[in-house]
């Protein structure tokens, strides 16, 4: 199976059947998920029709999407299309993380816009792997504006361990000759997901207004913040002095999504990877003397706070994978580090793993610190250096 579209509207096509013509040749029934996306270069839709950071409360970063992502229409549906743009965004610095995708289409007239709108509606069943969802349709009395709203949540399977729900709302809107597809998504606890109802409704209203050229009130879309998910302190990350003479720390930041990698190689049922959800984390990057950070890879440290009780489970799983040769890593200094509690591992790349790097893991409670060394540094780092780094990581946790 392959994905044949942008991150916004995903068309999942059967392997070897990328388009309607291929489907017909193979005898498969027609499907809105199988089509040839039109290949055309168009000017951007005016930014005034898309949501901006000012429309949201909090710190949002919104930018243009990938340059290779074109209109998700076939040739017939794209008739009359005059402009297209894709923008993506994310809320920064607070939990839970919300992501935004918005795809805008400007047609020459309302008739061709209606054709495009109906085609995009046909993509809704193709656009997600969600297991539960609901769809509502609304049309204004004069018929000038119509919208379809799809909202869905996932079950826990497929999410990092510790997360309970993934929530998305996708809105397909036509306003005159304009068509827009707006989508927000988050992953978090059941309480975080359920608290977002009013903000999702405000997002829907702001999306419809923007497409029609109406500016929403500043900060109209206010997704709740979970203040209990605080990132580890800045003092918890290694300083340049901790790593030794000649090191320089480039910066530090926070993150509130994703999962920590257990190092599984995959390939067999018993070696499948399992990610452990991050409640909150902090990251930093480093270079050694003489390295130009613009030209070379940096070393990094991530400190991830996991769900209660998951820290010990994570380290136990990493060990089990290494012992059973299911890991990308191998033990190079035993299964502990002198002077470190609660837990630490110094791991090198497993034999036969091309381009593999080592990693240093230190746990205190449910906080796990991981130090990854840049390629040239990893190759020359001694076990003594790695163990010293582990001891400094433990001291700062």
- In tens digits, the chain (397 residues) has pLDDT values of 222 222 222 222 222 223 333 333 334 344 567 788 888 889 999 999 999 999 999 999 999 988 777 898 999 999 999 999 999 999 999 999 999 999 999 999 999 999 999 999 888 777 554 445 678 889 989 888 899 898 887 655 566 766 667 888 999 999 999 999 999 999 888 889 889 999 999 999 999 999 999 999 999 999 999 999 999 999 999 999 999 999 999 989 999 988 899 999 988 888 989 889 899 999 999 998 777 777 778 899 999 999 999 999 999 999 999 999 999 999 998 899 998 988 999 999 999 888 888 999 999 999 999 999 988 888 889 999 999 999 999 999 9
Q: Are residues 370 and 244 in the same domain?
A: yes
Backbone angles phi, psi at 191, to 5 degrees: -65, -40
Beta strands 329-331 and 276-287 are: unpaired
Domain that residue 327 falls in: 234-396
Residue 191, classed as helix, strand or coil, is helix
Domain total of the chain: 2
Cβ neighbours around 129 below 10 Å, total: 10
CB neighbour class for 158 (10 Å; exposed up to 12, middle 13-18, buried from 19) = exposed
- Taking the C-alpha atoms of residue 362 and residue 149, their distance in angstroms, rounded to an integer, is 45
Query: Structure pTM?
Result: 0.80
Kindly list the distances between the CA atom of residue 310 and the CA atoms of 245, 254, 314, 335, 365, in Å, as whole numbers in the listed order: 35, 20, 6, 19, 9
Quick one: pLDDT at residue 32? 62
Among the listed residues 118, 103, 8, 107, the one whose alpha carbon sits nearest the alpha carbon of residue 49: 103
Q: Tell me, yes or no, whether 270 and 333 share the same domain.
A: yes
Statement to judge: residues 194 and 245 lie in one domain: no
In-domain check, residue 9: no
| CATH code, domain carrying 186 | 3.40.1000
Determine the Cα–Cα distance for residues 346 and 350; give it in Å rounded to an integer.
12
Residue 31: the pLDDT is 57
Judgement on whether residues 59 and 170 belong to the same structural domain of the protein:
yes
Residues 147 and 82 in one domain: yes
């Amino acid at each position: 199976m392959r994905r044949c579209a942008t991150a916004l509207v995903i068309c999942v096509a059967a392997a070897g059947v990328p388009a309607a013509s291929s489907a017909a040749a193979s005898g498969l029934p027609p499907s809105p998920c199988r089509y040839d996306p039109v290949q055309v270069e168009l000017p951007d839709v005016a930014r005034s029709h898309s949501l901006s950071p000012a429309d949201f409360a909090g710190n949002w970063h919104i930018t243009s999407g990938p340059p290779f992502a074109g209109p998700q229409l076939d040739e017939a549906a794209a008739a009359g299309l005059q402009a297209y743009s894709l923008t993506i965004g994310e809320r920064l610095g607070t939990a839970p993380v919300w992501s935004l995708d918005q795809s805008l289409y400007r047609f020459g007239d309302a008739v061709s816009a209606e054709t495009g709108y109906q085609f995009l509606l046909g993509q809704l069943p193709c656009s997600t792997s969600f297991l539960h969802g609901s769809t509502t349709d609304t049309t204004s009395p004069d018929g000038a504006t119509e919208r379809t709203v799809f909202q869905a949540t996932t079950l826990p399977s497929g999410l990092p361990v510790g997360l309970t729900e993934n929530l998305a709302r996708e809105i397909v809107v036509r306003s005159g000759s304009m068509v827009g597809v707006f989508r927000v998504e988050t992953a978090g606890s059941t309480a975080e997901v359920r608290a977002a109802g009013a903000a999702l409704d405000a997002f829907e209203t702001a999306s419809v207004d923007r497409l029609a050229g109406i500016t929403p009130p500043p900060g109209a879309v206010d997704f709740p913040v979970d203040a209990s998910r605080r990132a580890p302190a800045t003092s918890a990350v290694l300083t340049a002095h901790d790593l030794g003479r000649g090191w320089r720390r480039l910066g530090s930041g926070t993150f509130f999504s994703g999962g920590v990698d257990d190092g599984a190689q995959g390939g067999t049922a018993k070696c499948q990877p399992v990610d452990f959800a991050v409640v909150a984390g902090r990251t930093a990057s480093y270079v050694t003397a003489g390295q130009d950070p613009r030209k070379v890879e940096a070393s990094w440290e991530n400190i991830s706070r996991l769900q209660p009780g998951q820290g010990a489970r994570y380290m136990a799983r990493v060990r089990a994978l290494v012992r059973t040769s299911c890991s990308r890593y191998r033990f190079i200094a035993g299964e502990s580090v002198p002077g470190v509690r609660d837990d630490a591992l110094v791991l090198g790349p497993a034999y036969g793993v091309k381009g593999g790097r080592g990693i240093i893991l230190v746990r205190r409670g449910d906080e796990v610190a991981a130090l990854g060394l840049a390629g040239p540094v990893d190759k020359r780092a001694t076990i003594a250096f790695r163990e010293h780094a582990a001891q400094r990581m433990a001291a700062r946790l």
